[in-house]
Amino acid sequence: MTSSMLFNITTFTYLVSMLAFFAFLASRNRHVGMAGSLISYFGFIVHTAAILLRWKESYDIGHGHAPLSNLYESVVFFAWTIVLIFGIIDMKYKYRVVGAFVMPFALLGMAWAQLTLNSGIEPLVPALQSNWLLYHVVTCFLGYAAFAVACGISIMYLIKAGKEDSSQSAQAGGIISMFPPTKILDDLNYKAIMIGFPLLTLGIITGAAWANYAWGTYWSWDPKETWSLIVWFVYAAFLHARFTRGWVGKRAAILSIVGFAATIFCYLGVNLLLSGLHSYGGGG
């Protein structure tokens, strides 16, 4: 059994989990929703085993580094963190319907990595040969994952709020009736961002320390650094507006979605479209 085979099993499992959550939306059968959650947990276990096995394979061929060094490995790890954050929220709050709006992010990441990206295990470039690699990447991607979950919840909020507004009723019928109340969705959005924002802050701090180790400067206004700061300001604005201006509901949901769009550009757009010190994070 190789890590590649386990990643393929993971991708298929996330597909089945997503379909189960969609079936839960259609059938409103709580057992189907539970199945979606359990399948996602199984996929997460296989995913974890695949990452650990790839780490071992790196040592076996003489490279010996954590599987976080190129675009393929980072996308796979990003998908893992999304399912981790979703699993925590799912086990705590039991709102299975959230899986229908979060698991697609993990599935898309895994499918893209498995179908199009170079999966070869390569030696680290000099700039990556540091323990800061693990600290920086783990904190950043846990933050990104929390923002992905917040984005999915925000989409749910806008759908439910829009339906309730159009029907002029406190409860919308049909599939929308399965969504948690808008107040709870708004609170979950806030809690997810409260998880992600400190992690992103730690990611930026560890990235600055790593930059000083690798290039002799804490900050050089590299495109990745600049966009990381933009993302940080978007979510700082979200929290500031909530605490001081009482921003909740639709405005908060829209800002959460904008923040995740900025996050995706920071992660993928900068690597693939712009040149800079992080160019090694591209598809090669």
pLDDT digit string, tens, across residues 173-191:
577 888 889 999 999 999 9
pLDDT along the chain (284 residues), means of 10: 94 98 92 96 98 94 86 94 96 92 96 93 78 88 96 95 66 73 94 96 92 80 89 96 88 96 92 64 49
Residues sharing a CB contact under 8 Å with residue 110, sequence separation 6 or more, in sequence order: 7, 10, 11, 14, 75, 76, 79
Q: How far apart are the first and last CA of the chain?
A: 25
Sign of CA pseudo-dihedral 120, 125, 131, 132 = negative
pTM of the shown model: 0.90
What's the token pair of residue 152?
């999915």
**What is the per-residue pLDDT for 70?**
87
Which are the contacts of 23, defined by CB distance < 8 A and separation ≥ 6?
Answer: 29, 32, 36
Burial 34-52 (b: 16+ CB within 10 A, else e): ebbbebbbbbbebbeebbe
CA 159 to chain centre: 21
State the CB neighbour count (10 A cutoff) for residue 105.
23
Distance CA 13, CA 17 (A): 6
What are the helix (H) ranges across the chain?
Answer: 3-27, 30-60, 71-93, 99-116, 132-167, 182-215, 223-245, 250-264, 270-273
Which has the closest alpha carbon to 40: 68, 67, 19?
Answer: 19
CA 166 to chain centre: 32
| SS3 at position 30 | helix
What is the distance between the alpha carbons of residues 236 and 242, in angstroms, rounded to a whole number?
10
**What is the spatial distance between Cα 25 and Cα 81, in angstroms, rounded to a whole number?**
24
Distance CA 187, CA 226 (A): 30
pLDDT of res. 68: 87
**pLDDT for position 277:** 57
Return the pLDDT at 284. Answer: 45
CA distance 185 to 196: 16
Give per-residue burial for 196-224: e unless 16+ CB within 10 Å, then b. bbebbebbbebbbebbeebeeeeeeebbb
CA distances 235 to 50, 119, 262, Å, are 32, 33, 10
